[in-house]
Amino acid sequence: TGATGATGATGPAGPQGERGYNDGIYAYGGVSAVSNGENVPLTLSQSTTPTVMSVSDNAVSVPAGTYLVSYTVNTSSDTSNILRVALAVNGSVLQTEEILVSAGNGELETLSKTIILTVGDTTTLSIVNTTEGEISVTNAGLAVVKLQ
């Protein structure tokens, strides 16, 4: 076999690929008391520009699509040893997305979870207190990134 020849000229660029999804939003909640069955208070903290998502009434609104959803709550309770929060879709708690932890009364705990969620229509996402009683929230967050 002979020596390798000189490298030829670079060929033409390939076709433009599909546009990637660059759409995300983060809603944040600070110190608050949240009763059983109530949404954890959330307000807009950051979003991509532009975004088709929004935050109102303590929930993130998203159009149809598939999303990476992460939610976290730092919380404690003086009345319950089991702390629980869950993701709600259009106000209905997703039982499979409930997080629970055993804690001493008044002990601060962090509850968090990340899921992939597909919705077929405009949908609201919120974090709901499912603890049997009131919880004290010191920090909460709901991050949503559109995957497709």
Per-residue pLDDT of the chain (148 residues), as tens digits, is 789 889 999 999 988 776 667 899 999 999 999 999 999 999 999 999 889 999 999 999 999 999 999 999 999 998 888 999 999 999 999 999 999 999 878 889 999 999 999 999 999 999 999 999 999 999 999 999 999 8
The residue assigned the tokens 């990476």 is 68
Instruction: Indicate the pTM of the whole model.
Output: 0.85
The confidence score (pLDDT) of residue 79 equals: 85
Q: Strands 82-89 and 123-129, how do they pair?
A: antiparallel
Q: Which of 138, 136, 125, 131 is nearest to 56 (CA)?
A: 125
b/e code 81-93 from CB counts within 10 Å (16+ = b): eebbbbbbbeeeb
pLDDT of residue 77: 92
The string of DSSP codes covering 37-94 is TPBPP-EEEEE-SS-S-EEETTEEEE-SEEEEEEEEEEEE-SS-SEEEEEEEETTEEE
Q: Which amino acid is at 106?
A: G
